[in-house]
Amino acid sequence: MMQTLRKHYPEYLMEAAGLGIFLISAVVVTTLLEHPASPIPQAISDPLLRRFIIGVAMGLIAICIIYSPWGKQSGAHLNPVVTFTFFRLGKIQPWDVIFYILAHFIGGLLGLLFAVVVFRDAVTNPSINYIVTIPGAGGAGVAFLAELVISFGVMLMILFASNTPKLAPFTGIFAGVMIATYITVEAPLSGTSMNPARTLASAIPSHNWTAIWVYFTAPLLGMLLAAELYIRLKGKRAVRCAKLHHHNNKRCIFRCGYRHPEVDKRWLLSDKLPNP
């Protein structure tokens, strides 16, 4: 355990910082678009249009994190369920799974608490409410189904895109587009979490635990189902690595399928995945 921690702690810190930055950005963007003291809600009265702008902003932020030097090195999971799903696919060592998940929960909480300290009045305003993710008018059942569907969709996209040579470089862009789309369309149903660390980070300072079980179970079930479908369609060996963006000059700490240069080269030059 300690040896793994000493070797891989930079990746753990990168994952924690990545989710923390994402949540701080979410507070800033949501405050600008939704806080009653902001001029933007007065100028843009349509809530759908405001959600679209929030979605585009958060999608772009996610893309920036994924393609940042930190994201290229850590893999830019930013989500304990993504990490656990790659563990299920055999791409991550057990201790890395544990430390990645701890980093996500700690980083997300610290990021949200930082936003609370800096933007206290804005974050506590009912229009922002610590950017909590809670079920919409349809209730917990609808929220569960919605979270399951969007989590399934994003994980299936990651697996197909990151393991297809021509699409792999654009996996992060696809992820950003899906985040933007989900926030625009799905947010009224569940708040668009897909991430228990993100939901818990908001729940702790807000003391709002409404249907929190939804956000711990539905994303996990959805992403594991996506992994199972991918395995049945392509086989477990088709999963090359746990990084969203792999082909860069950063080290890889995962059980990587690109260890041998000749395999890497054949994969890049082919539309078909070679057998490792």
Instruction: Encode pLDDT of 177-220 as tens digits.
Output: 999 999 999 999 999 999 999 999 999 999 999 999 999 999 99
What the block records as the tokens of 195 is 């991430």
CB 145 within 8 A of CB 215: no
Task: Give the C-alpha separation, 190 to 208, whole Å.
Answer: 14
- pLDDT at 265 (0 to 100): 53
- pLDDT at 260 (0 to 100): 55
| Residue position matching structure tokens 């305003």 | 125
Average pLDDT over residues 84-105: 96
Residue 169: CB atoms within 10 A of its CB come to 15
C-alpha pair distances (Å), 40 with each of 46, 56, 93: 11, 16, 46
Task: Give the C-alpha separation, 83 to 91, whole Å.
Answer: 9
What the block records as the tokens of 177 is 């587009």
- pLDDT at 2 (0 to 100): 82
Query: Which residue would you say has higher pLDDT here, 272 or 75?
Result: 75
- pLDDT at 236 (0 to 100): 87
What the block records as the tokens of 22 is 């994402």
CB 202 within 8 A of CB 112: yes
CB 215 within 8 A of CB 196: yes
- Strands annotated E in the chain: none
Task: Give the C-alpha separation, 167 to 142, whole Å.
Answer: 33
Q: What percent of the chain stands above pLDDT 70?
A: 93
pTM of this structure: 0.91
Helix-, strand-, coil-residue percentages of the chain, each rounded to 5:
70, 0, 30
Q: Is the pLDDT of residue 143 over 80?
A: yes
- pLDDT at 75 (0 to 100): 95
- pLDDT at 266 (0 to 100): 52
Backbone CA torsion sign across 264, 265, 271, 276: negative
Instruction: Encode pLDDT of 217-271 as tens digits.
Output: 999 999 999 999 999 999 988 999 999 988 888 999 998 888 655 545 554 444 4
Q: Is the pLDDT of residue 78 over 90?
A: yes
Pick the closest to residue 198 from 96, 79, 99 (CA basis): 79
Residue 237: CB atoms within 10 A of its CB come to 13
- Domains belonging to the chain, first-starting first, are 2-268 (1.20.1080.10)
CB 195 within 8 A of CB 79: yes
- pLDDT bucket at 3, cuts 50 / 70 / 90: confident
In three-state secondary structure terms, 192 is coil
- pLDDT at 261 (0 to 100): 52
Task: Give the C-alpha separation, 53 to 76, whole Å.
Answer: 23
